[in-house]
Structure 1
């Protein structure tokens, strides 16, 4: 996939240029007085000034800051404690500002500090920082644990109404939009996960092979399409950056309305490759997770992203070859859209042959998010016979994607091929901080739904739907 980075970036650049008249100005340098000074004055100088120098650190003037070794290293945020100590996890005892002083800072503020330092940490001479009041607390988002508990109760009630009959594949419509989608029932079982050492195109992160077990689930027959995703993404409703609608009123709005949804994108997110019937692309994992929650709130069925194990099990469909149709990449044209036949764009879903379990585009068209943190040592840590393995995410990057896409060669489309997400997938996003909804440099990435037969706890649901939220 990296071999096609320049071509992919060109597509995104052209699309951004078309929308330049309506887009926000891009790449403006961080303004100290407007963006950095308020952060330092509200959260830092009350404890770090001439009157109160905790740890012998005085942040009131640039001269004092320069006198503290390692506090601010222009151009090197990772070497500047002014950034590194605000970017630690919220339970780290070194966190600045501490919890009782307003910490941790919002991710937006942390990103601003990092960018400001990376740009050279311009601080006008003669400016002395003064303590200023902290802003009032934000309106709490209705997309919280209490909402998830209500959705969980709806899912449990729906399962009781459905009874314990045999799992069957089904077709359905998104209740609020009537967009069609189909789910294929997958029996649980054991399989050999990963690739053998002699498989052509194999990466070191794909082994050693380990036998694992997955329990029954349904998985999307196709990748989620724009028909399904766009009404979730573009609502015509004013939203805060976290996706909460500005006019939310619990007396008027439903639990579906309470789910965070994307802010309006600044470019047309299909990048001219096609919309209706085509796979939705370029959403962050957070965007995909929230779509799953939004659909769950409507249907009373629990949807989420597949784990890596579930995805590979469904992709292999009972086979143990490099592809679900065998080992010969010469047959790819019958089953997949890839760099050799895609005409440099994704294609309508379901046009190629399905795998043995009736799933389309598991190889190619667009790569697909999974729920896991990407760990290059995944297989070395797996124990033989592990049930439903899942690497719980702890950081935003890297997260795992599978399947390869329209810009990839045959080796990236194999059932065992793995890819870790990168911050570079947002490089052209002009927002500061970067959007939690869009990956402007990943027009080859989408997702597929999974619905496990076993209903997890509300706490587990909350984690799946929010594992990419507020992570640094």
Structure 2
């Protein structure tokens, strides 16, 4: 097993904002991607309390969105854009990392047998798509190895909290889905393809494409009654963690989703059918042949875990 490396810690700051009431170091910054000229913006998400899920009166509400729970979220940074194909390719093509290995702690995806972007766009700011939750988590693990900074996927509680940005309406901009086209790409306006990140309006915290474009993986394993098991006044809840591949929770909806699926409270569960056309035996653990609208974005907790805690976290999520 290759040891994790912690010899290249970098925090390159391009300060654009400071969140009131938080540490002076809790600011927006640009994260350099080692081995490339790529950088991505990390936005500070202040800690706070919100109601997770949707009220019984919300239009298009599903039963798995409740009961609503008041939860407290600790501060973290979230990438302003969905992870890009450009950034993911640095990981994918890193020859210092083993490919498709079951032995090494850090491993990268096997080659795609066809172009799973389906001609929608690659370089130049398009979101990465068609990858499994495992591939997204392993990208975060690779980032940790390369930078010494702990990145991961958000929990679904963190994702909804960041998306709402203090709002309590159906969407973070209000209740009228007719305004949705100003904020996201979905079935009505996408021309059945994803688009470059950042072309629509952001939410109040400066996060782009939280609604539509590509659905975003969270850490959580999907169970229909998950919210009923969250304790009253819980802090940083995870509804479930399970190394099993299916089903996992995604949020935000994609370019092929209906407006109702883009509601911040909506929960999307992954399914084996997303890989039904994969000719490999066994099916790829990295790529989704029928998940073209599936992507992710990263978060960085303000309180960083110790190396032992970080390694334990990745083992739990990945089941190794």
TM-score of the superposition, structure 2-length normalised? 0.90
Distance 1:240 1:453, change over 3 A: closer
Provide the C-alpha distance between the structure 1 equivalents of 2:149 and 2:290, rounded to a whole number of angstroms: 32
Tell me the distance in 2 between the aligned counterparts of 1:227 and 1:274: 11
Distance in 1 (CA, whole Å) between partners of 2:315 and 2:182 is: 37
Aligned to 1:70: none
**Structure having the larger proportion of residues in helix:** 1
Distance, in Å, in 1 between the alignment partners of 2:102 and 2:198 is 31
1:327-347 Cα deviation digits (max 9, x unpaired): 110000100000000000001
Structure-2 separation of matches of 1:186 and 1:443: 28
More displaced stretch, 232-241 vs 386-395: 232-241
- Unpaired runs of 5+ residues, structure 2, are 12-22
The TM-score, its normalising length taken from structure 1, stands at 0.62
Specify the alignment match of 1:180 in structure 2. 39
CA drift of 1:154 comes to 7.0
1:378 to 2:237 alignment: no
For 1:427-468, what per-residue CA distance to the aligned partner results, in whole angstroms no more than 9, with x for missing partners?
111111111111111000000000001112434423443445
> How far apart, in 2, do the equivalents of 1:240 and 1:303 lie?
21
Partner of 2:131: 283
Determine the C-alpha separation between the residues in 1 that align with 2:108 and 2:103: 7
Which of 234, 250, 259 does residue 410 from structure 1 map onto? 259
1:45-124 paired onto structure 2 within 5 Å: none
1:423 aligns with 2:282: no
Note if 1:272 corresponds to 2:131.
no
Q: Residues of 2 paired with 1:311 and 1:289: CA distance?
A: 15
CA RMSD for the aligned pairs? 2.2
Deviates most, 333-342 or 430-439: 430-439
Tell me which residue corresponds to 1:346: 194
Task: Report the equivalent of 1:132.
Answer: none
Q: Quote the offset at 1:469 in angstroms.
A: 3.6
> What is the DSSP-based 3-state SS (H/G/I as helix, E as strand, rest coil) of the residue aligned with 2:171?
coil
Larger Rg: 1
CA deviations 1:290-312 (Å, max 9, x no partner) are 11111122222110000111100
1:454 to 2:303 alignment: yes
**Equivalent residue for 1:218?**
77
Map of 2:100 onto structure 1: 241
Answer 1 or 2: higher relative contact order, Cα 8 Å, separation at least 6: 2
Contact 1:371 1:464 in 2 (8 A): no
1:355 is matched with 203
Partners of 2:250 and 2:268 within 8 A in 1: yes
Structure with bigger strand share is 2
The aligned length equals 307
Q: Say if 2:241 and 2:317, in contact at 8 Å, map to a contact too.
A: no
Q: How much does 1:233 deviate?
A: 1.9
Alpha-carbon distance in 2 for matches of 1:459, 1:207: 35
In 1, Cα distance between equivalents of 2:260 and 2:216: 16
Who is 1:440 aligned against? Answer: 289
Q: Which residue of 2 aligns with 1:294?
A: 142
- Mark the CA change 1:436 to 1:460 in structure 2 (over 3 Å): closer, same or farther: farther
| Cα displacement (A) at 1:206 | 0.3
* Cα gap change, 1:261 to 1:213, in 2 (>3 Å): same
Residue-by-residue CA offset, 1:239-297 (whole Å, 9 max, x unaligned): 5532778xxxxxxxxxxxx7211111111131110012110001111100111111122
Cα 1:154–1:228 shift into 2, 3 Å: closer
Q: State how far apart, in whole Å, the 1-side matches of 2:305 and 2:31 are.
A: 22
Q: How far apart, CA to CA, are the structure 2 residues paired with 1:448 and 1:275?
A: 16
Name whichever of 234-243 and 292-301 sits farther off. 234-243
Q: Residues 222 and 448 of structure 1 are in contact (CA less than 8 Å); yes or no, is this contact kept in structure 2?
A: yes
